[in-house]
Structure 1
Amino acid sequence: MSYFIADHVAKSYDGRQIIEDITIQVEKGELVALLGVSGIGKTTLFNILSGLETPDEGQVLLKGEVVTSQTGYASYMQQKDLLLPYKKVIDNVSLPLILKDISKKQAREQAQIHFEHFGLKGMEYKYPHQLSGGMRQRAALLRSYLFSSKLMLLDEPFSALDAITKHQIHDWYLEIVEQMQTTSLFITHDIDEAILLADKIYIMSGIPGRITKVFDLKSGKHQGCKLTTNDFTTSEQFITYKKQILQAIQ
């Protein structure tokens, strides 16, 4: 059985069906993308997967156990970094630990261990306004990781960044995923980003939103392509994936 499963999930509001018969499977250590246009229910699905909302049909499972409507098993990072401007970076990222009744001193110590891995060494006692956009995003990702390292749900985590910073963050994030062995499911509208980062891409389309196609990229990427270089984004394999995905979306 897969590590994390959304099993035939459906949700409606005020008699309007938002998502229908959604099934997604994520293996341990995988980076999986949910790709689709705005307004088809991706965020609604993430609210269900994180336990913030209850589906009308279907269930959510983690390691074979039903976790439908339960919170706390997954971290959920939204588009904005939502760092508190009046708190130092170390206190922003250690907030999930404090909410788990860990003392401020211990929370800081546990968070401090990860600052170098997340490229934030030396930024611990600065305030969010003193950080670049990329640094703020790294801090938000570290905060999400400290909330739950089992599963990370990321809602367009890099959409606010400029193209150059986004490229740098993509390279860095692939390294972090490999080092920390995290399991992630992320929403994106960016086809290139989905191909570059994901082991598997679920295409979501239609009204109500449904999964209409699944692309398993892992085997193709392992055929000599280096994900963290421009070579991959201009390779034949990348262009083939992009054409297939564009056709699936259209």
Structure 2
Amino acid sequence: TVKGDIITSIAAYDAWSDAERNLANTPTKNQTSSRRAVAYQYALDHNTLLTVDRLLRQFRQSLMESGFIDADNKLHGNEGNNDNDDSNKYERKMFPASSLPQDKKIAHKQYDALLTSCCLVAGLYPNIVTLLRPPQNTRKKGSSRGVGGGGGGKLLTKEGQICKVSSQSFQSERIRNASASGKDAYAMYHAKHRTQGVCGGAQNQVTMSNPGSGKEKGGGGGDIYLSEVNFVPRYALLLFSGGTIELRDNTAIVL
């Protein structure tokens, strides 16, 4: 399955955008109010979502100008798509309600989880991490935290760095509650951040411009955190990462 911060962001946009589609026959003013209500209910930034919506429209226009979409909105290579196919039953339209019905043909693969994960791998490679599960003997009875307060899983980069996930990530709880046994799990991330010192009772995080260098690997102090962590299937990594797999302590590390 594909689970991650980016996937969650897409789902949030879908919920916000659906508020307009569900009120397609209502005045524009009420549509905007409904979108704002959804943003307020789920603590989303309405203006940011409007920006995403505009970018989506620009992307559609770019597809048309590049020749990937004909004037009648037919996607090249998908002329035989059947609108009555059960595989389209749960599809939403990629574009707003004001666009043509044929637009749904453009997004007929939008709910293909494996294809989505392949896009994440292609876009974020080589930022790969492996989930390190906690040893069996580090758990106290009746406690979810390990001995010494270091319970839960960690993320291992191909450079050998042990990293944590940002507390703001939707993956933080999943990694913190990782079981001692289970399948190998891999994730892609967008950027690394290292905590440096304490200011006003809070840690400062500084983006690591060259996180894979030996200098940063060996020192610098502070914990390393990853942002926009997205778990992806091993098959996507094998097909699109172009790396090799090495076994370390019974864990398959993608290099």
Using the size of structure 1 for normalisation, the TM-score is: 0.26
Structure richer in strand, relative to its length: 1
Using the size of structure 2 for normalisation, the TM-score is: 0.25
Q: Which has the larger radius of gyration?
A: 2
